[in-house]
Amino acid sequence: MLLYMSNSAQEAPSTPKHSVSVAGAVVRDDGRLLAIRRADNGTWELPGGVLELEESPEQGVTREVWEETGIHVEVDQLTGVYKNTTRGVVAMVFRCKPSGGTERTSDESMAVAWLTPEEVTERMSEVYAIRLRDALDGDGPHVRTHDGHRMIPAR
């Protein structure tokens, strides 16, 4: 007797997947950094979001910053890759220069502000503030891992 197994029965158990997101570390000439206060949880972060299938990382950064802040940007360079082990999100952060537009909030942002590096440290959690510090230090791209609250030291 010949048994037939469908492809789905032959496949290995489902492996958890990662989501890829992009964020813009937008730096003005005066050194201030663009930040949003998220509408869903009230935390201060870099503007960014999930990378769509049809776009490049640079296109995704440009779109996300515009959607959340009203600011147009020129993407400069990748400054870091950050893995959230709890949520399964890998975020690519790009340093950007503002190139036009006017600050405004959106459905995703309840506030948009240009912060000093000191204000970033005061307002953002460690796992988001480090992304902006990394974008400023010129030693990237950095590769870091965190659990959503605290950085996990490299092994």
Taken in order of first residue, the domains within the chain and their CATH numbers are 18-138 (3.90.79.10)
Per-residue pLDDT of the chain (155 residues; tens, 9 = 90+): 444 444 444 555 677 788 999 999 999 999 999 999 999 999 999 999 999 999 999 999 999 999 999 999 999 999 999 999 999 999 999 999 999 999 999 999 999 999 999 999 999 999 999 999 999 998 989 999 999 989 999 87
What's the one-letter identity of residue 42?
G
Distances (CA, A) of 121 to 5, 67, 127, 135: 56, 24, 10, 14
The string of DSSP codes covering 50-84 is EPPTTS-HHHHHHHHHHHHHSEEEEEEEEEEEEEE
C-beta separation of 60 from 73 below 8 A: no
The whole-number pLDDT of residue 154 equals 83
Measured in whole angstroms, the distance separating CA 138 from the mean position of its chain's CA atoms is 18
pLDDT value of residue 11: 53
pTM above 0.85, yes or no: yes
C-alpha 46/C-alpha 25 separation (Å) is 6
Non-local (6+) Cβ contacts of 30 within 8 A are none
pLDDT at residue 9, as a whole number: 47
Torsion region of 70: left, alpha or beta (phi above 0 gives left; psi -120 to 50 gives alpha):
left
Evaluated on CA atoms 144, 148, 153, 155, the torsion sign reads: negative
Residue 19 confidence (pLDDT): 93
Closest CA to 98 of 64, 71, 116, 78: 71
Which residues partner with 34 through β-bridges?
114
State the pLDDT at residue 2.
44
The answer to whether 24 and 34 have CB atoms below 8 angstroms apart is yes
